[in-house]
Amino acid sequence: MSIAELLSILPQTLLEGLLLGFVYAMVALGYTMVYGVLGLINFAHSEIFMIGAVTGIEVFRYLGNGGNPYLILLLAFIVAAAVSGTVAVLVERLAYRPLRRRGSKNVLVPLITAIGVSFLLQDLVRAIEALWHNEFNLQYPSYDTFNYDVLSKLGSPLGLTLAVKGLIVILVSILMLAGLNYLVNRTKLGKAIRAVAQDMSTAGLMGINPDVIISRTFLIGGSLAGVAGVLFGLVYTNVTPYSGFQPGIKAFTAAVLGGIGNIPGAVAGGLVLGELETLGGTYLGFLTGGNFGSEYAQVLAFLILILILLFRPQGLFGQNVSEKV
Amino acid sequence: MSLLEVKNIYTFYGQIQALKGISLEVNEGEIVTLIGSNGAGKSTTLRTISGMNKPRRGEVLYQGKPIHKMPANQIVALGISHVPEGRRIFPRLTVEENLEIGAYLLNDSKLVQERKERAFGLFPRLAERRTQKGGTLSGGEQQMLAIGRALMQDPKLLLMDEPSMGLAPVLVDFIFEIIQKLNQEGKTILLVEQNARLALEIAHRGYVLQTGKLTMQGPAKELAAKPEVQEAYLGGH
Ligand SMILES: Nc1ncnc2c1ncn2[C@@H]1O[C@H](COP(=O)(O)OP(=O)(O)OP(=O)(O)O)[C@@H](O)[C@H]1O
Ligand SMILES: [Mg+2]
């Protein structure tokens, strides 16, 4: 490929990186918010994301015949947010809270619990899907209206194409991020979440019940991950009970990249990671003379991340510098 | 019946025994001070009253009802606010947000606004800094904010842990004037202080705490006159 050709596909690559980045960002928020209030890396969060994707498929399976696809999609978002949020709350209630009650200072115990919960949820979803539908390799339906290129009407500026579903990813993500920003910075619940994150025992002196606020934080992070799961399924179509792992690890990385505990950092980290991975996928083969193809995109993305963290171990934005999205 | 009655409490941090049977009383309208040297258990006493620590034995009665098994967030709802040691301002909330979070249990936004203005009236310095992050305030301003925040709930009983710590003499005087003013406005105050001289000057009664036990108690004037107190806590004569 010539330089001109490579440059000509750059805008499309960046656009696709943005879509992936938004999905990572929405999942990263759950990691970072829970870390913010509890100092816990909730590895089960990737499964909350997967459960959202699977729930979305079930909504399409049962309501997808003949109805208005946009309406069904809206319903899929709502149901996935509710289911993922509820599962996240239950995980906190049944696994993390009892550990917290024991008052152990060992941070490895909740971490290992989180990993255990993660496996449990994967296999639980697998069992449910296998019993229910006799298979657990699931597929999002493909609607023509979601695949329509919205930029073709505008004469495809810069050769860009953007399917309706891509536009949905962008719009829904921005809407959710704006909503979260409002919630965290402008509401009483948001103030309480920040107070608990900064100093849990003093928050108690203000009349805040930390358990309630922690539970709400899991609900918010879980719901965001549920919506992100549907967006992910819509774009990448294939979902299994194990689909949460990779995006989950990347979203966690994005949270660390942005400075764990830092809400705007998680969004920025997600976008950076999405771009890195997509750019790597497109250009790696060319850059290495064909020795390393797009299958190494993730290696490249993580190499760059490790380099960034070597120089800025606190993440791009530092921990907790502010809570603004 | 006294407003607050602490009955023979034993409080531990793991294996470390911080309180070895403390009993004290605070009557409505009083300023009561708790003095003692470092590590005597003054903060632990306040923390046990406000629910941050649980006593292993003994009880805490507020208006005659036991509260020592309640979580901190329920105790504050009864009208006991704790200005903790080291101020514990939320560093990344603004001054205004710190005050608002102090009124967390209030649902009437008009009332919250009123109380906020009252706090700004008491501490005009805070009004100038209302959009500044708590963590960027000076020590004195943080102390004002900690007191202002505790008042947002309009408590009956105010527990104050070393409000004068680390402040310049002018500010110490100012804070003590505020404490007296609050008391005249009807607040009952349990004051922990290293500055025993000033504390005994404004208090009605006092208790002396030594390694987890009370050693002396009585009207503040009488305590201040005792040679043992003068020697140990008032720096001689
Ligand atoms: N978090 C903790 N963990 C273990 N021990 C503690 C803890 N907090 C206090 N202690 C111990 O409990 C005892 C009483 O401490 P406390 O803070 O109540 O003293 P204090 O009278 O407030 O002292 P100071 O004047 O220095 O503030 C001390 O021996 C202290 O070492
Ligand atoms: Mg103390």
Question: CA-CA distance, A233 to A220, in Å (whole number)?
Answer: 20
Q: Look-up: residue for tokens 């804070």?
A: B175
In this predicted model, what pLDDT tens digit does every residue of A102-118 receive, in sequence order?
877 788 899 999 999 99
| Structural domain total, chain A | 1
Domain containing A163 equals: 3-323
Domains of chain B: 4-233 (3.40.50.300)
Q: Of the candidates A165, A183, A140, A171, which has an alpha carbon nearest to the alpha carbon of residue A29?
A: A183
Query: How confident is residue A219, by pLDDT bands cut at 50, 70 and 90?
Result: very high
Q: Which residue of A has its CA nearest to B83?
A: A205
Residue found under tokens 């507020």: B62
The Å distance, Cα B13 to ligand 1 centre, comes to 9
Q: Pick A305 or B98 by higher pLDDT.
A: B98
**Stretch (H or E) spanning A238:** strand A238-239
* Predicted confidence (pLDDT) at residue A215 exceeds the cutoff of 60: yes
Q: Is some CB atom of chain B closer than 8 A to the CB atom of A101?
A: no
Pocket, ligand 1, Cβ cutoff 6 A: B 13, 16, 18, 36, 38-44, 85, 194
Q: Is pLDDT above 50 for A292? A: yes
- Compute the distance from residue A307 Cα to the ligand 1 centre, in Å: 43
CA quadruple A118, A119, A122, A123: dihedral sign: negative
CB pairs under 8 A between A and B: 64
Q: Which residue type sits at A156?
A: S
Distance from C-alpha of B7 to C-alpha of A105, rounded to nearest angstrom = 31
Under 8 Å between Cβ of A211 and A229:
no
Phi/psi for B19 (5° steps) reads: -120, 130
Q: Is A142 on the interface with B (CB under 8 A)?
A: no
Tens digit of pLDDT for each residue in B123-152? Answer: 999 999 999 999 999 999 999 999 999 999
B32 against A314, higher pLDDT:
B32
Q: Is A105 on the interface with B (CB under 8 A)?
A: no
The terminus-to-terminus CA distance of chain B in angstroms comes to 37
Q: B161-170 pLDDT, tens per residue? A: 999 998 999 9
pLDDT at A322: 44
Question: What would the DSSP string read from start to end of chain B?
Answer: --SEEEEEEEEEETTEEEEEEEEEEE-TT-EEEEE--TTSSHHHHHHHHHTSS--SEEEEEETTEE-TTS-HHHHGGGTEEEE-TT----TTSBHHHHHHHHTTT---HHHHHHHHHHHHHH-HHHHHTTTSBGGGS-HHHHHHHHHHHHHTT--SEEEEE-TTTT--HHHHHHHHHHHHHHHHTT-EEEEEES-HHHHHHH-SEEEEEETTEEEEEEEHHHHHH-HHHHHHHS---
pLDDT-wise least confident of A256-260, B48-52, B78-82, B219-223: A256-260
**Alpha-carbon gap: A104 to the closest alpha carbon of chain B (Å):** 11
**pLDDT digits over A245-268, tens only?**
999 999 999 999 999 989 999 999
pLDDT, residue A313, reads: 85
Q: Is A202 on the interface with B (CB under 8 A)?
A: yes
The CA-to-CA distance between both ends of chain A, in Å, stands at 39
The CATH number linked to A86 is: 1.10.3470
Asked if A194 is an interface residue toward chain B (Cβ–Cβ < 8 A), one would say: yes
Confidence of residue A324 (pLDDT cuts 50, 70, 90): very low
Question: Residue A319 — pLDDT band, cuts 50, 70, 90?
Answer: low
Q: Please write the tens of the pLDDT for every residue from B64-87.
A: 999 999 999 999 999 999 999 999
Cβ distance of B72 and A205 shorter than 8 Å: yes
How far is A292 from B103, CA to CA, in rounded Å? 59
Higher pLDDT, A303 or B10: B10
pLDDT value, residue A321: 43
Ligand closest in space to the Cα of B85: 2
Other Cβ atoms less than 10 A from the Cβ of A11: the count is 13
Contacts of B14 in chain A (CB under 8 A): none
Residue A1's pLDDT is: 67
Q: Is the pLDDT of residue A303 over 80?
A: yes
pTM above 0.90? yes
Evaluate if residue A2 carries a pLDDT over 70: yes
Q: How far apart are CA A204 and CA A38, in angstroms?
A: 14
Report CB contact under 8 Å: B104, A192.
yes
Give the pLDDT confidence of A173-199 residue by residue, as tens digits: 999 999 999 999 999 999 999 999 999
Report residue A119: phi and psi, to 5°: -60, -40
* Structure-block tokens of residue A88: 């996240």
